[in-house]
């Protein structure tokens, strides 16, 4: 069984109103990840990815590009202890 890692991610730039959350959910599900994503009042998108290290790394790499209409300026990543999340969803 592969190790599970957790990364907490904050994405800055033009990342709201460009389907970033929906695209993050789709990408995370394709990668078999668990966690959540939400818009923040300051214009950033916040996400948590839990799963195998390679898949989490792929999700972070995707976050640096985002969907077609996004203009990502910065991605901050913090390593955290996995919580055993199940599923991937938008959070309020």
Q: Which domains does the chain have, with CATH numbers?
A: 14-84 (3.30.70.100)
Digit-coded pLDDT (tens) for 60-84? 999 999 999 999 999 999 999 999 9
SS3 27: helix
Return the active site residues.
Answer: 21, 39
Residue 88: pLDDT above 70? yes
Confidence of residue 92 (pLDDT cuts 50, 70, 90): confident
Instruction: Give backbone dihedrals phi and psi of 82, rounded to 5 degrees, phi first.
Output: -60, 145
pLDDT for res 55: 98
């Amino acid at each position: 069984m592969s190790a599970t890692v957790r990364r907490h991610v904050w994405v800055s730039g033009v990342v709201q109103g460009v389907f970033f959350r929906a695209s993050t959910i789709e990408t995370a599900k394709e990668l078999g990840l668990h966690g959540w994503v939400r818009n923040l009042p300051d214009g950033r998108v916040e996400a948590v990815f839990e799963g195998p290290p390679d898949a989490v790394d792929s999700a972070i790499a995707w976050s640096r590009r985002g969907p077609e209409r996004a203009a990502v300026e910065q991605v901050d990543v913090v390593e955290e202890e996995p919580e055993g999340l199940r599923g991937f969803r938008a959070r309020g």
